[in-house]
Structure 1
């Protein structure tokens, strides 16, 4: 849509032989006022508004509000932001395409043109979340895992192949290629985007939203992007702007350099801890300072990737010479690189030495102060110095004593590979047998060591460090402990290329870090089964074991249902812990094991120097990127052989257990339901702080005795073929049964016991949450969920909101919400309500047996941040009322909620013509 351009800012930019049109920020500033010190991320938003000014969704007052931000450093003004493109992964992409297919069918039934349901913005979907670590520690593991993946997911992949052909502006990167964020960083993104309009080429900042929280990784390349729920992404695809308030921007100043032996992972865990402590939820974070001059692009991307973990909307790095160097290295066309430089310099988007933008607030870090770190045992912001990991683990399981005898020390040595902390009398230990050998498994044993996730596998420095450490370990004669399930899952095939070029693959293989797939694997919960005797030992003796992974998420129940403690670490530390075999070993000073010469080998003996890492990184060259991305959308023979039905609407299969027609749009031809007060609602779950979207809608294993497991068995699916919740997100029957089914969720209605159960109040029975919800639905009883702080933290998981809706939950009342999940609840027609300071479920002495009324909705015009009353009626007949804040935050969200949800709003508009 052509811009009104009321500020007369459209200009031409000549780069080489090509002329581009663009909307000039310096020209706009002649009217708006000096914007030189505006944060770079806000300049990108300002350009977006300038380009989309239409007098309705974007007005001159919006433009002025962006410039005036410098005066107050915050704003309550709502703006309509239109990103250039959308990125998806398959766990969130499949339900998004299912929704689009359902919308097409609803449009056809309403007598409209189903082709109107079509992405208006470019969409890339990367299949990266489905591969599981079924086979490992073998050169054949990759091929075997891919074959299993294709067999398990054939229905889903056929559906995506249909979508690839049925929808315009929709590309699919096939399985076995890489992780969406690394593919985005290495290939899809361009820092400056172009589009041909009326015969002229328009240049503007590359921007996007993605259906994965870690979309923010691309901020490292100077691309403004963040994660949204699949619901919001679908609306963006269909031409709806992203409604948002002009954000506060927190500046993070980086100075100095990392010391010898300190990795980018150590840096990002430090940054995450600092920012989470600062409190940046719902805010932009922008990095600045002269320390950026020596911070490689891959390190920037690692820091940006973790923005969801520190709670920010994004973690933005401005464009500079290092950005250009990475664009060239990764094989972007030279014309693109030259355009990025010329455009950013013309727009004031180029980072200059000594530059100090104005921020809402700021904090600083001298990188020289960063120490070797992990994060755990169950939150990514809980950084732990390497030397304290064993102590923190012991505190977690309640061990505080030191060994009291030589026999206790010997037992700990056998279980962990070195002298450990704690009393053997308090440490559970059990012998198990495998392949004729007897091994001792103890509390603290590392049963999973995974080099995984886009966060670190995109970074050659930490990956080469892992390979070099493996080489030195093999040369010393070390081996991983036999109970460790080890795996290597890079985010792109380029990693394999440079490992091979550096001669490191052989050594990783020897330690069991063989390639298992190109995908998220362990980080998303696709760690696969442990060896059966190990699983039996853990379950029968209630062992508290550990995983160590180079990922970004370590929430309870995410990595593996039997692994209670999970530790984020750099790839070389993942290898080191596989050698040590226990997190109770202080690997900063205790031996990893015994070398072939009979002498103890310490971490310092095999840790590679910065010089060695730098020499290895020289093996990474542009030809590798050209080779691996030459036919990135083609896929292998198995992908190409998938039969694709050619039709505008999808032919739903009644017997499919992966793809089912969702019920969300069945009443779309009718008027939206009346929004009124909620009466006599029952509490479905009473939850504490930091309830994650993994707790609400798990992505991992489906238990055979769970409601979802029972459903699948009724459909003839054997437990061995259950796959995961994440892979079955195209089937609402599975997903609604899986809502609140995480084995680690704690419902205070049942005394805080773990598991997805609740108290069905009328009968007094303990039931699975799904089963209780269905009983309440049959009785016509509305439901409410009550929770503590940071409700919905973690992944941008739309099924956490969709499942909540399908269970009949009308409102969630919490002390605070994570940004994406709050938005998703509104997008599914569920009221997010926030307690006022000083009030919570505990101050109200809630037990879950009360009924709740929500008043203030009847006969009023909804508006953002309206005040509502919650009336608590207790079993003894007493009542208490409290005022709560309705977290419908913007006018657009009001319209979405009134329509029944964001997709309902879009579809109703399209049907109306």
Structure 2
């Protein structure tokens, strides 16, 4: 538990809670009827949660009375400028991004033992839970054994990582692992892990969380404030440290009306995504309010919250109300917990009152009755298309991917496309920026794949399994029901299953070229499919269970059948995926697929039946029944009443109680993994996945005095808007890079390189990939190259003349010579997703200072957390205006003031060119809080926490 609050507002009270098991009292920090905090009543729900957080964690230094007053008296119209320290109640992780967090905790344990302390002191101080859901790939599909075979392959590929995580599960208190094959992290979170109101050590307080996945916001639908962060913030939160943030603007989104017949929750969320992306909500909270909120089912709320990263907000939250309570009861939460949630929410003013309108910074409104069936694509989730326009929109979009030949048209698709876009029009292949996600980085994809034109006729495919057929542009080759976004929502999942039943009964079948996969977010979906008797119909259409995990939506769609992949690539066909996920960026879903569309689960099956995006469901039949009658989509679409009736009898509380009773058990496959035991981890010297990082090597019990930086060289001179995706390693590992060479030297064949994401637990791989993005432009090279060089290169001034070298290789030479390094940057340095390796890699390359025009807030904080000082050029100055070209030697003085307990406002920087010419300026120190100063004095946040715990254990 954190240290006791100073409670300068005397907000501490006692809350009695009655339930079937009796009455229990909790200590709470009230945000109602507190002298000095009268204005809190007008705050939005989300800011009330933050206010309680500050009251409970007030320490007089990092969280002060002034911070509390600034939040209580929040000005909705003001631009964010007040920084606060938010202490989340718990941390949620998925396996790709969570592994480095556990690696660091394991390393801290060894360091604690080396310093003479008790390694048992290193445990998460806030509950930390990891759901292993990002490693299953839909290799096998359309078969009864698909699930079992895919899980076997998953364990084969990830054995080292899983052994390590299984050790962590047994070694750490307050750290729990949901093993593979159980469910998707965000669905498991809302169905089981989320508390809504926490109770620990006799205190009750709002549940809140940060997660190592951008779609952590799904939990917003259940009234829990949470969002995705990078690994450093997650580690800090696990170890009881606050997350730095600005008090945000809050957008009020009013819902009213009823969803019309034939419209799904997916259609609603795609409409909201389009609206909010157009409005602009990046960095803001979105909060739903109004009379219509109570009518929105919890599953729909979670679907909306899940898409928060797609419209750009930090969070997209619904308040607590009767629907929340009903959901907690349905999902098997204990009666005592349900009673605590309702009593606490009402006592604190966190219960939704539709007649009360909080103050908001901005306002939007949606009449749900105006929503129509929709899809989104072909490359962004906010690009909504009304289903009635889908065919014409596709015919326009295909022009960006296919260069038409001058020959006469030969298919209806050609005729339509050429009618709208004559072949004489100048067309360039759509070279498009792909995606940025927690497990992959932007890449460039040539949309036409170097095409010289479309084939002269549709391509014939001969398949032993699937028969003979023709493929053309627009063929739907993947139709996948996947992702936390929709598989948590019974209305669309049962809608899809009922549509499958109706289709089978009408004699319809999926086209032979479609890869059909079903990856629910939890085992409860399987249970209610079985109880409703709908699995046989799904399997008849090829929708066999392939896994419980993030498959197609994160690019784990698995390969297309060989003959289809060969036909697509040989004829350079522009084919399509349709998925029920949340992201459809180009290059993300499958390397053979250029166009990707998001759709509701029922529409995913509908497109599998149609087999092409060049299809109008209103006018074109999906097939014919046995009596020869044409069958249209409207003929098999289930009615809302049919869906509601099926939900009513097929879903029970017992399903949730049964499936989650042993959620951390994992079965024999998980428990039979040979796993190290003991308080500290037995590192395998031959492992290329999990290695002990060097953060604590030679660390003394007390921090050495902070020293000035002398004789530093520039590792990179960068421009504006350098993002964490430019800095952090991600994507595939190429053989001719430092990381590829490292793996080759360790006996790894190229086919087994895997990705940077899968090897995040090996710092040797990750250092070699830092600043190695193919689109990074290091201006230090401009002087020796004609047109500049892109990629992970720099000049190595340990060698005469400063020749071009890999950034990693140069950094090793500098460190061997005892030369510190600096980075020079422009505006908005470190913007984009919060990626821990953007800061970790920077520090491990030997960088001691980063000097820029401005920083993205989280990356600035992360640099401090890794012992790197963030500095800004004087106002109005830039590297260019100061005539810095990166060849200089830098001396930075004044940082030693930190040794006296104060943080200097500026540091003196002296940059000396090889010619002897000197440039001097005062750089602004961006160590903004007392806590950050403590981190920097200790060499980083992990070192600070380790020493703090060491003192407590002695």
TM-score (norm 2): 0.83
Cα distance, 1:756 vs structure 2: 5.8
Cα distance, 1:252 vs structure 2: 1.7
Alignment partners' CA distance in 2, 1:50 and 1:493:
39
- Answer yes or no: is the 8 Å Cα contact 2:893–2:909 preserved in 1: no
Query: Which residue of 697, 720, 730 maps to 1:666?
Result: 697
Moved more, 625-634 or 223-232: 223-232
Q: How does 1:509-658 map onto structure 2 within 5 Å?
A: 509-539=539-569, 543-583=573-613, 585-589=614-618, 591=620, 593-595=622-624, 601-618=631-648, 619-658=650-689
Alignment partners' CA distance in 2, 1:769 and 1:434:
48
Alignment partners' CA distance in 2, 1:582 and 1:874:
62
Alignment partners' CA distance in 2, 1:450 and 1:852:
55
Alignment CA distance shift 1:500-1:75 (3 Å) = same
CA offset digits 1:843-901 (Å, max 9, x no partner) = 9999x996588898755869999789999999999999999987766443344345443
- Answer yes or no: is the 8 Å Cα contact 1:814–1:835 preserved in 2: yes
Alignment CA distance shift 1:254-1:911 (3 Å) = same
CA offset digits 1:683-702 (Å, max 9, x no partner) = 4777878x67499433x655
Alignment CA distance shift 1:408-1:179 (3 Å) = same
- Matched with 1:681 is 714
Cα distance, 1:655 vs structure 2: 0.6
Query: Which residue of 382, 391, 398 maps to 1:394?
Result: 398
Alignment partners' CA distance in 2, 1:560 and 1:784:
36
Query: Which residue of 898, 906, 911 maps to 2:945?
Result: 906
- Matched with 2:534 is 504
Alignment CA distance shift 1:290-1:25 (3 Å) = same
Query: Which residue of 452, 457, 465 maps to 2:495?
Result: 465
- Answer yes or no: is the 8 Å Cα contact 1:74–1:360 preserved in 2: no
The 3-state SS of whatever aligns with 2:516 is strand
Matched, 1:427 2:454: yes
The 3-state SS of whatever aligns with 2:66 is helix
Unaligned 5+ segments in structure 2 are 424-450
Alignment partners' CA distance in 1, 2:592 and 2:812:
29
- Answer yes or no: is the 8 Å Cα contact 1:864–1:890 preserved in 2: no
Moved more, 368-377 or 357-366: 368-377
CA offset digits 1:234-271 (Å, max 9, x no partner) = 12222222233333322222222222222222222232
Alignment CA distance shift 1:257-1:804 (3 Å) = farther
Moved more, 449-458 or 277-286: 277-286
Cα distance, 1:420 vs structure 2: 11
Cα distance, 1:188 vs structure 2: 1.3
Matched, 1:242 2:247: no
Cα distance, 1:161 vs structure 2: 1.8
Aligned residues: 899
- Matched with 1:828 is 866
Matched, 1:714 2:745: yes
The 3-state SS of whatever aligns with 1:272 is helix
Alignment partners' CA distance in 1, 2:765 and 2:142:
32
Alignment CA distance shift 1:180-1:21 (3 Å) = same
Alignment CA distance shift 1:496-1:855 (3 Å) = farther
Unaligned 5+ segments in structure 1 are none
Matched, 1:117 2:122: yes
Alignment CA distance shift 1:444-1:737 (3 Å) = farther
Moved more, 158-167 or 772-781: 772-781
Query: Which residue of 129, 137, 142 maps to 1:132?
Result: 137
The 3-state SS of whatever aligns with 1:647 is coil
The 3-state SS of whatever aligns with 2:73 is helix
- Answer yes or no: is the 8 Å Cα contact 2:894–2:908 preserved in 1: no
Moved more, 129-138 or 499-508: 499-508
Cα distance, 1:755 vs structure 2: 9.5
The 3-state SS of whatever aligns with 2:116 is coil
Alignment partners' CA distance in 2, 1:534 and 1:742:
32
Moved more, 709-718 or 225-234: 709-718
- Answer yes or no: is the 8 Å Cα contact 1:133–1:516 preserved in 2: yes
Alignment CA distance shift 1:835-1:426 (3 Å) = farther
Alignment partners' CA distance in 2, 1:330 and 1:815:
50
- Answer yes or no: is the 8 Å Cα contact 1:227–1:820 preserved in 2: no
- Answer yes or no: is the 8 Å Cα contact 1:684–1:758 preserved in 2: no
Matched, 1:799 2:828: no
The 3-state SS of whatever aligns with 1:490 is coil
Cα distance, 1:93 vs structure 2: 1.9
- Matched with 1:482 is 512
CA RMSD of aligned residues (A): 4.4
Q: How does 1:394-413 map onto structure 2 within 5 Å?
A: 394-397=398-401, 407-409=410-412
- Answer yes or no: is the 8 Å Cα contact 1:304–1:314 preserved in 2: yes
Alignment partners' CA distance in 2, 1:686 and 1:721:
35
Cα distance, 1:518 vs structure 2: 0.8
Alignment partners' CA distance in 1, 2:585 and 2:787:
17
- Matched with 2:430 is none
Cα distance, 1:456 vs structure 2: 1.4
Alignment partners' CA distance in 2, 1:30 and 1:92:
43
- Matched with 1:353 is 354
Alignment CA distance shift 1:785-1:446 (3 Å) = farther
- Matched with 1:893 is 932
Alignment CA distance shift 1:759-1:344 (3 Å) = same
Alignment partners' CA distance in 2, 1:42 and 1:890:
21
Query: Who wins on radius of gyration, i.e. which is larger?
Result: 2
